[in-house]
Chain A
Amino acid sequence: MNLIILKPNKENLQTYLALGVILLGIGFFDITSNTFLNFNMTGFLPSIISYLSPLLLGTLGLYFIRIEYSGNITLDQINKNLNSSNINAILSLIVIFILIKYVPPLLNWAFIDANFLGNAKEDCTGDGACWVFVKVWFNRFMYGMYPDAEQWRINTSFLVLFGSIVSIFILPNKFKKYIILFLLFVFPVIALNLISGGIFGLKWIETGAWGGLSLTFIVSAFALIFCFPIGVFLALGRRSDLPAIKYSSIGFIELWRGVPLITVLFMSAVMFPMFLPDGTYMDKLMRVIIAITLFEAAYMAEVVRGGLQALPRGQYDAAKSLGMGYWRMHFLIIMPQALKLVIPGIANTFLALVKDTPLIFVVGLLELAGMIGLAKTNPEWLGMATEGYVFAAFVFWIICFAMSRYSQNLEKKLSTER
């Protein structure tokens, strides 16, 4: 019978509210003092209960304030979003406590106690992160072993790239077509020649010296541009009525999907040159880009095929009945719809591709993560692995998040339903 008194009700709203808030407050105070002041209020209790005491107090507190339609908007919002049942209350508390326990120390490490000034490891005196490491090595992380004096060539290439991409969004539709054609067919040639040099009096810089974030971009960009059309044709091939095309597409896709990327890269570096006729030579970077492109194209093909299968047969019927042949039907009617359906899948594959690029370290090419791996083994900078990889994670996250946002944007823009 006593329990009925403990059932929160509207009549005694103030009482229950006060009781609940006090219990919650004690819970929060307990966890905060535990974390920051090294003071365990409930230390006299058995250790397991002491450990769980904030959770128990908090849950009880939330139980007391769980009063429906209390008339207090804030309270109703809290109850609805964080406290709709005992299970939800516990989950809310766990999330909040984890944030309290681990976020401030992380911020502390990354910013407050961190060292930003100086030029050597000895300048890092605090307990926090040593961003001096990233600062000193920044140039290498961006350009690899590319000579400092020639870095303007990489900068120019990327400025042109970003400039043209931005102009696609700014300029009127009339010019868009030309810029896209330029980006697809002219720009890669110019950029490759500019960066590798060897013509027009530019110093030849072998691909082994390329590296850092710029290499990440180069590998990703070429693989992205080429894996997409190859994937589309493989997807069409897999659905073809012609057995030769159909089975070679299936064979190709299943072969590449069945092999780990790292094996493919090893093969491209070690095995592939053995099959080349004597005297011919193919650049290491080129081989790696081709390997990644074909590997991701197989995944792309399956993503696109998913879109093709989602289209109703009536679309094919309608296109055929208007006198369209295979290619017109697919490129005017089927592909635009199928690709739109699988934008999330395409974005997924593209993101995976970008994040797979660090694997090219196996053939001795060092992009961003690879350069960090190299720098952290420098005797003067031992013990900087955490800072380096946090930096790498941050940069990759920025790139991938931007791509993800763009794909969502595109999805919204292309949606014509309703």
Chain B
Amino acid sequence: MSNIIELKKVNKWFDKFQVLKEIDLEVKTQEKIVICGPSGSGKSTLIRCINRLENHQEGSIVVDGTEISENTKNIELIRAEVGMVFQQFNLFPHLSILDNCTLAPIWVKKIPKKEAEVLAMNNLKTVQIEDQALKFPGQLSGGQQQRAAIARALCMEPKIMLFDEPTSALDPEMIKEVLDVMVDLAKGGMTMIVVTHEMGFAKEVADNMIFMDEGRIVEKAKTKDFFDNPKSDRTKLFLSQIL
């Protein structure tokens, strides 16, 4: 299978502070990658670079055959193919859940309103909150909001889904309902890059694990190898603390 995402020697600085150092990463279609690491290690920045919510200064990022750089004219087209789910959900509070889901398909992909609504209801059914469609985000629990956010991203029918710590802002009992949705999504064959500390989820779903520290990819391995015999001492230390 071909690589749908390719990062080569990506470097990024916030002012003088280097957040990403020499990042190399290939993601194949339908591959699931889980990125973990201590906070401040650059995990979130890395996946935010993939749809250019952050810009990188050196190296190349190629998504679905298009190089992403300052010169990319149609960055919106690439973003439309890359769904993203955020730690803080970031639903649009002034719109109902249904409108949250249909807005981008209608205005970006120019799908007729009726079709967009059917699509949205199907996706809301997938995440099991179709009965909340007409409520506003503020009326939903955290777990429901995050599932709505996943449905919103799916409505753009993306080729790749990025998850930026999707369960970190949730109460413990709501984490499972979100993870269940993500597991289903993975089984459906979606290409996924997930930043998370949920190691149970990682063991169940991930093809490859990446461990990051201080802006570097310290270790990249098959999920089984990663957990059974991690190579670097830093990874061992991290895993011993988190498991």
Contact = CB atoms under 8 A, between A and B. Distances in A.
A329 to B, nearest CB: 10
Contacts of A416: 93-94, 136, 138
A318 B137 CA distance: 14
B139 A314 contact: no
B77 A323 contact: yes
Interface in A298-332: 312, 314-315, 317-325, 328, 332
B79 A320 contact: yes
25 contacts: A312-B88, A315-B90, A315-B92, A317-B53, A317-B84, A317-B90, A318-B86, A318-B90, A318-B91, A320-B79, A321-B83, A321-B84, A322-B104, A322-B152, A322-B153, A323-B79, A323-B104, A324-B76, A328-B107, A332-B107, A333-B103, A337-B93, A340-B94, A416-B93, A417-B138
A314 B146 CA distance: 14
Q: By CB atoms of chain B within 10 A, which of A318, A336, A416 has the most?
A: A318
A412 interface: no
Interface string B188-227: 0000000000000000000000000000000000000000
B61 to A, nearest CB: 15
B88 A314 contact: yes
A324 B108 contact: yes
B27 interface: no
B154 to A, nearest CB: 11
Interface of A: 312, 314-315, 317-325, 328, 332-333, 336-337, 340, 414, 416-418
Nearest to B103: A332
A317 to B, nearest CB: 5
Contact of A321 (B82, B92, B107): B82
Contacts of B139: 418
Given A312-B88, A318-B91, A322-B108, 18 more contacts: A315-B90, A317-B48, A318-B86, A318-B90, A320-B79, A321-B84, A322-B153, A322-B156, A323-B76, A323-B81, A323-B108, A324-B104, A324-B108, A333-B103, A414-B94, A416-B136, A417-B93, A417-B138
Q: By CB atoms of chain A within 10 A, which of B48, B92, B103, B139 has the most?
A: B92
A250 to B, nearest CB: 24
B94 A336 contact: yes
A318 B90 CA distance: 6
Contacts of B94: 336-337, 340, 414, 416
Q: By CB atoms of chain B within 10 A, which of A319, A321, A324, A417 has the most?
A: A321
A293 to B, nearest CB: 28
A169 to B, nearest CB: 21
Interface string B135-161: 010110000000001001100100000
Interface in B18-71: 48, 51, 53
B168 to A, nearest CB: 14
B161 to A, nearest CB: 11
Contact of B86 (A317, A332, A417): A317
B121 interface: no
B80 interface: yes
Closest 3 CB pairs of A and B: A323-B80, A318-B90, A322-B104
A276 to B, nearest CB: 43
A320 B77 CA distance: 11
A318 B76 contact: no
Contacts of B48: 317
A318 B156 CA distance: 13
B92 A318 contact: yes
Nearest to B54: A317
Contacts of A317: 48, 53, 84, 86, 90
A269 B149 CA distance: 56
Nearest to A328: B107
A200 B112 CA distance: 45
Contact of B80 (A312, A322, A333, A418): A322
Contacts of A417: 93, 136, 138
Given A336-B94, A416-B138, A321 B108 contact: no
Contact of A325 (B53, B76, B103, B136): B76
Nearest to A337: B94
A161 to B, nearest CB: 29
A319 B77 CA distance: 13
B82 A328 contact: no
Given A315-B90, A416-B93, A418-B138, A320 B107 contact: no
